[in-house]
């Protein structure tokens, strides 16, 4: 387990996950208090990745349940292996005949067969699904219930038993209690509001879009080899795009995809033509692309940067040691100001 929040930050960083103090605090408390974590936020900000890197940092196996509309208890918990049951029936046919020998009526025969139900409805014929696998695992695991907001409210209610007592019930067999309590992460893209009962059982964590500084760190960590200037320009443009009224704002995953695409195109800096050609990497709806295209002139504002041979800071160059200082010549009244030098995008 983690020693403290600083240990969480360090071990997540080793896995390439850039987290802040609030994220580290919730992860630490989840392991210390043995409470599930409900991680909410926009799609693509690293909710699922947080669960994955936490499992790796703890040295635990990750068991993932992907939620979707129509997911029911049987598909999440267990299924009966009917083909195996049928095979056993055929093999044991002779034994069934012996068991029914002497039965005086159909009712008597059915009762004799019924006494053997436990043979066919036992753990031998259960195919465990993610929830039962996590509960019955001999080794500590991390259970990820991904995109729980896509499931139906009925399934959400079923989860309460698992999250309250770390146990599940199989009517034909009985109740399974967790051998090792799993660390549990539930993620939600906020497609619908989770119930109060579910939230009450969980620690809550909201992960939003990162600020520019943190996003640059994430980009440099996940896409090694990207030029720092290109990374900063790319992130600043992404920050501007998220302020537009888009159907789906580009997230961190799109930032990483775009950076990899630009590297594949051998790009060293952004220009309007390149951005136009690659907008479909980060925007997934035609309406969003058109809206972004209309705003590119405003988003791609050039900022003066040093040219080759100039100093590191924009401004008047320092005179050489053996040359007299040369006063700047002010523009004459009525004359336009000198044209700005071509510089970086931001």
Count Cβ atoms within 10 A of the Cβ of residue 57 and give its class: 0-12 exposed, 13-18 middle, 19 or more buried: buried
Q: Give 9-59 pLDDT, tens digit per residue.
A: 999 999 989 999 999 999 999 999 999 999 999 999 999 999 999 999 999
Where exactly are the structural domains of the chain? 5-74+129-206, 78-125, 212-298
Q: What is the Cα Rg of the chain in Å?
A: 30
Tally of CA atoms within 13 A in the half-sphere of 214 that contains its CB:
14
Q: Cβ distance 199 to 237 under 8 Å?
A: no
pLDDT band at 120 (very low <50, low <70, confident <90, very high): low
Distance CA 310, CA 168 (A): 69
Read out DSSP for 239-262? HHHHTS--SS---HHHHHHHHHHH
Rounded to two decimals, the pTM is 0.75
Selection from 235, 207, 201 nearest residue 50 by Cα: 207
Q: Give me the residues paired with residue 39 across strands.
A: 187, 205
SS3 237: helix
Q: Give 195-217 pLDDT, tens digit per residue.
A: 999 999 999 999 999 999 999 99
SS3 89: helix
The conformation of residue 122, written as its DSSP 8-state character, comes to S
Compute the C-alpha angle 45/46/49, nearest 5°: 165
Q: Give 272-325 pLDDT, tens digit per residue.
A: 899 999 999 999 999 999 999 998 888 886 443 444 444 444 444 444 444 444
Give residue 190's Cα distance to chain centre. 13
* 5-74+129-206 maps to CATH 3.40.50.300: yes
pLDDT for 307 equals 42
Give residue 142's Cα distance to chain centre. 14
Distance CA 170, CA 127 (A): 12
């Amino acid at each position: 387990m983690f020693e403290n929040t600083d240990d969480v930050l360090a071990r997540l960083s080793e896995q390439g996950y850039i987290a802040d103090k609030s994220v580290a605090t919730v992860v630490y408390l989840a392991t210390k208090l043995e409470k599930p974590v409900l991680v909410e936020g926009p799609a693509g900000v690293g909710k699922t990745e947080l669960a994955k890197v936490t499992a790796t940092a703890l040295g635990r196996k990750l068991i993932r349940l992907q939620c979707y509309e129509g997911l029911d208890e049987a598909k999440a918990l267990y299924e009966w292996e009917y083909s195996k049951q049928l095979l056993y029936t055929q093999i044991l046919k002779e034994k069934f005949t012996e068991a029914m020998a002497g039965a005086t009526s159909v009712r008597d025969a059915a009762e004799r067969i019924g006494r053997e139900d436990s043979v066919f409805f036992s753990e031998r014929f259960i195919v465990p699904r993610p929830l039962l696998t996590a509960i019955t695992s001999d080794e500590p695991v991390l259970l990820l219930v991904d995109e729980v907001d896509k499931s139906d409210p009925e399934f959400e209610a079923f989860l309460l038993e698992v999250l309250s007592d770390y146990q599940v019930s199989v009517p034909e067999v009985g109740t399974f209690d967790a051998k090792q309590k799993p660390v549990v992460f539930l993620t939600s893209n906020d497609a619908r509001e989770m119930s109060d009962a579910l939230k009450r059982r969980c620690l809550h964590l909201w992960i939003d879009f990162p600020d520019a500084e943190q996003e640059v760190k994430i980009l440099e960590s996940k896409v090694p080899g990207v030029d720092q200037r290109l990374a900063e320009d790319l992130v600043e443009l992404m920050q501007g795009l998220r302020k537009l009224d888009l159907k789906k704002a580009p997230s961190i995953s799109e930032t990483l995809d775009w950076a990899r695409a630009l590297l594949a195109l051998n790009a060293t800096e952004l220009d309007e033509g390149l951005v136009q050609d690659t907008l479909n990497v980060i925007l997934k709806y035609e309406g969003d692309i058109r809206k972004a295209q209309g705003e590119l002139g405003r988003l791609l504002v050039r900022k003066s940067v040093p040219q080759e041979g100039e100093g590191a800071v924009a401004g008047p160059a320092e005179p050489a040691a053996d040359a007299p200082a040369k006063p700047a010549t002010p523009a004459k009244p009525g004359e336009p100001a000198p044209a700005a030098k071509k510089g970086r995008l931001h």
